[in-house]
Chain A
Amino acid sequence: MKSKNHPLLGIHSLIMMVFIYVPIAFIIAYSFNSSRLAADWSGFTFDWYISLFGNRHVMEALSNSLIIAVVSTLVSTVLGTISALAIRKLGKKMKVGFGGLLYLPIIIPDIIMGLSLLVLFNQFQMPLGKITIIIAHITFSMSYVHVVITTRLIGMGNQLEEAASDLGAGAWQTFRYVTLPQIFPGIIAGALIAFTLSLDDFMVSFFVSGPSSTTLPIYIYGQVKRGISPEINALCTILILVSVTLIFLAQFMLNRGKGQKKQSVLPF
């Protein structure tokens, strides 16, 4: 039974869309503006994108961001998958307990996470740099991967695995040929979310970054103090594009698999 929507709801949605997307649209539009000054439109150009790729600091920040994102994604995906599989086998109380603990990094404010990690690294006298950022990113990415894969596991149920062991498959065989193919889209989806989070993170990275580990968001933040240049707009546009593509890809991967009910797991 579908009731007809209230007309105000449409207006409300429209206003919401304007609030969310107009600022982003401005950034994208002005990245093609040939004038150095925002608010003056003086023609279409790709120059800022070209000068962006010739800028050594941007390229360094980009390579830092990519290294950190790739490594932290790989590790957090493996850890998150293992934890999801393990917690699934636990009793109900334990499941709620451990599941809750793993959920915590998602809801803890970034600033507290960054600060606590900084204090921790100082306690162990670890020099700040790429390694500490990678560890920090793994810490929060893992939770997202865990949540995504847990959802996938719940959707899958136990029957297939039980059938496999009934038919004589060992524990490893069941995992390799039944469970893993089933949750694989979830793993990819989790990995893509982890990658996006790592690429976009500012707050946590800011606290635990050291020499030669400036990531793109930290670089952008530093640049804004000098006045917002069209180059920064171009950089933001690229970041937005990459993030959106990855999130869509994640959603697509998760919904792949025949006969599965469509589901969304994005926790935000």
Chain B
Amino acid sequence: MKKMRWAGLMLAVMMVLTLLSGCGSSKETLNIYSWADNFDEEVLKEFEKQFDVKINYDVFANNEDLLAKIKAGGNGYDLIQPSDYMVATMIKQDLLEPLNKDNIPNWTNISDTYKNPSFDPDNKYSLVYMSGVTGIAYNTKYVKEEISSWADLWNPEYKGKVILLDDNREMIGMALKKAGLSNSTTDEAQITAAVDDLKTLLPSVLAFDTDNIKQKMIQEEGWIATVWSGDASVIAQNNPDVAFVIPKEGGTIWSDNYAIPKGSKHKELAEKFINYMLDPEVSAKNYESIGYSDPNTKATPFHTEEYNNDKMINLSEEELSRTEWLGDVGEMLQVYDRFWTELKSGRE
């Protein structure tokens, strides 16, 4: 009999849990699929309260995971945050809904720098959410020379102390920029030359690392590294010896964006959410919390002085003018992939 009671208990627990999972479903829901910790919590809560809705916030770890999920269909997401090149891919594959700007009057607050980017020329399908530029972070304790060019990574004095992003297009793009070319060239000869150049850098490389590059720089394992501007700001906050520069040849600019996938059941709510996030006060609070540059021009007065003075978060017009988006390279992507694998396996 004891066993029967135990089974009864289990059944009761299960029913309670099922009930719990069912509650709250009466409210309209906004299903967000994005990177982890990409929003300030309070800003989300405030939206839920203001619009009497529930936000489901699920996370992915890279653009390719996102693409796989959205392509599989039947996933029910209303708002996704693909990076720049992924927006281009998704537009091409007809996976995105055009945005209805009438529901997003605040979109005009976005700085001109981030309007009409090359991956979505008329902002038909996407709006920039956050952005950064790949530059060079270096520790002034060990790196005494003035750093101004990508070529400085090749300086033999930093042998074994250079960290590069573990990213195919970023790194080959960097070598292309160094040679004064486009980071998205489709000319195989140019790519070959860039990769050959990168190969000469290999002996200096401590690691290819994207995820833990911040820690490695803070702990001074690496002296000099290719780093995104937002990450550089985090590094500098934890290790004041670290400086950051956008090399004179220019750097690759990237962004994570708002987009609505085809098949969204709450498209209008997603648009209202984007509009809410672009409200100057809301966006000041949000970007302050996540520590990335705010594309909202009207938000500046609401930001703290510390934020407004952070040169790594707020890149100058001059610095931004030297940047280039990663363009779609079509079939040539295979060539990039092959070279990248070759390059990384050449290390061993």
Contact = CB atoms under 8 A, between A and B. Distances in A.
Nearest to A121: B74
Contacts of A74: 10-11, 14
A40 B221 CA distance: 12
Interface string A138-166: 00000000000000000000000000000
Given A224-B61, A226-B35, A227-B212, A210 B76 contact: yes
B61 A221 contact: yes
A260 interface: no
Interface in A53-83: 56-57, 63-64, 66-67, 70-71, 74
Interface string B66-88: 00000011111100000000000
B20 interface: yes
B3 to A, nearest CB: 7
A228 B216 CA distance: 12
Given A210-B75, A211-B31, A228-B212, A67 B36 contact: no
Contact of B211 (A71, A127, A209, A227): A227
B13 to A, nearest CB: 7
B238 interface: yes
Given A128-B74, A211-B75, A224-B211, A70 B57 contact: no
B29 A212 contact: yes
B341 interface: no
A13 interface: no
A129 to B, nearest CB: 7
A51 interface: no
Given A212-B58, A214-B59, A130 B21 contact: yes
Contacts of A221: 61
A224 B214 CA distance: 13
A245 interface: no
Contacts of B211: 224-225, 227-228
Given A37-B218, A222-B59, A56 B41 contact: yes
Given A38-B215, A71-B14, A227-B214, A127 B62 contact: no
Nearest to A214: B58
Contact of A39 (B20, B59, B215): B215
Contacts of A71: 14, 17-18
A212 to B, nearest CB: 4
Interface string A206-237: 11011111100011011111111000000000
A118 interface: yes
B29 A211 contact: yes
Interface residues of A, number: 41
A223 B58 CA distance: 11
A122 B21 contact: no
A211 B61 contact: no
- A71, A128, A184, A209: which has the most chain B beta carbons within 10 Å? A128
Given A39-B215, A222-B36, A127 B58 contact: no
Most chain A CB atoms below 10 A, which of B35, B36, B218: B36
B303 to A, nearest CB: 22
A108 to B, nearest CB: 19
B302 interface: no
A224 B31 CA distance: 22
B37 interface: yes
B238 A37 contact: yes
B116 interface: no
A226 B10 CA distance: 38
Nearest to A225: B61
Interface in B129-159: none
A184 B2 CA distance: 13
A118 B17 contact: no
A57 B56 CA distance: 9
A126 interface: yes
Contact of A63 (B20, B33, B56, B218): B20
Nearest to B37: A226
B51 interface: no
6 contacts: A128-B75, A210-B75, A210-B76, A211-B58, A219-B36, A228-B211
Given A37-B215, A223-B36, A225-B35, 12 more contacts: A67-B21, A71-B17, A206-B65, A210-B77, A212-B56, A212-B58, A218-B58, A225-B36, A225-B61, A226-B37, A227-B214, A228-B212
The 5 A-B pairs of least Cβ separation, nearest first, read A222-B59, A211-B31, A212-B56, A222-B36, A214-B58
